[in-house]
Structure formats: C-alpha cells, structure tokens
Amino acid sequence: MKNILLTGATSGIGLSIFELLIEQGYKIHILSRNKEKMEALCSHESASYSVCDIKNLQEVTEGINSAVSAMGSIDVLINNSGLGYFDPIANSNLDEWHEMIDVNVKGLLSVTHGSLEELIASKGHVINITSVASHNVFPNNVVYCATKHAVMAFSKGLRMELGDKIRVTSISPGAVNTDFIHKTTNEELLNQYKEYFKTALNPMAIAEQVKWAIEAPNDVLISEIIVRPNRPVK
C-alpha cells in the first residue's frame, strides 16, 4: 500500500480522507496544528503525525522529514489544508486576505516543494484539493477564488514539467457541509451560507474521489475532478 502525507486532516474533508484511507490500509502521516486531535486520530498503528503550521517553513521541513522517518517514503501528497474568509472586497480585512494566501498558496507550495524529491523517487502522486472557485469567481469571496486559481495553475504546471515523473490530480469540490464557512465574520453572509451549505456535499464524497484517483492504474492519470451537490443551479 502507498504511504500518504496529508495536510489538514483533523476536520472536514481532510478528516474524511484520513478515515477512508486508513480503513483501506494506507499508511498516513498528517500535518496539522492541532496536536490533541492528531493524537486521537493516530492511535491507529498505520497513522503518525507532526505538529505543523504550514505557514512555517521550518515546521514544514521537520514534518516532511518525520513523515519519511515514520513511513519510509512519501508516495502520495494530499494538499488539503485551506481556509476562506468571505466578505465584499470593500469591507474586507487585509490580514484575512494575507492569511488565505499564506495558507492556500504559500503553505501548499512549501509542502509540495519539500516533498518533491521523495515523490519523484517513488514515482508518486500529488493531489491538490482545489475548489470550483478554481474555475469561477464569486462575489464576496474574490481573494479566496484567486488563491484557488493559483493552486489550479500550479497543478497544471506540475503536470507540464513533471508529468513523466509524478502524477498530479486536482479535485475541485463545490459546496461541502463542513465548518469551513465558520471563519466568516460577516454575520449576514454567514447566515446566508449556513442555509446554502445545509444541502451541500458530505465530505466523504470528496474522500471517495481521492481514493479513486490514488487507485487508478499506473497508466491512467485522473488529472481533474469537479464534484458538486446534485441540486438545481441558481
């Protein structure tokens, strides 16, 4: 079975990915800031963790080294960590813009860069959890959309330059029923999103797409998956 490095595994989509892949027999090393939650998850013998803020390059480097020590290799990197603050541009907090860029873009780049040597050696696989916001721009979350467009461009570039050495998959979920929206401090928007997300995807639906991409035959590249709730388009 493949050895997996997963960011953001303690809640939402990442937690569902972790639970499904551990059940399937994969070894997983997780990077997260929440030590208490990771300790609870990693009671399983196939799981290990590093306390890591992906905004901190030293912690990223140490986390990747720990993953290699624990598992022996990195065969699959799943870049799942991400966050969004939703607000009209004119009302937005610049610190929130910077944090989205630091986590969604710079953090992802740091983990990918640090893992590339291992991934190339194992003829591995990078899976980036992007968003339908990689393909569209939506009012009130423009900077979030910009970060996800950047991740999509990076994913395509990885495939162009390293497609003979690694596989690269982008998975773009629509609305998923997690706590993701609760970082939004605009109460009016948050209440709107709460209603919309009540009928959103179960995060396990995204985990199933990750599993499918990992388990594709070696001569098959699933380059991109877009998955949305099955409901009327407004």
Dihedral (Cα; 99, 3, 133, 111), 10-degree rounding: 30
- Find all residues with CB under 8 Å of 3, minimum gap 6, and list them: 26, 27, 28, 29, 67, 71, 72, 73, 74, 75, 76
Q: What angle do CA 144, 148, 152 make, to 5 degrees?
A: 170
Determine whether 144 is an active site residue: yes
- Per the CB < 8 A criterion, the answer to whether 180 and 84 are in contact is yes
The Cα 30–Cα 203 span in angstroms is 18
Active-site choice (26, 85, 144, 193): 144
Task: List, by residue number, the catalytic residues.
Answer: 144
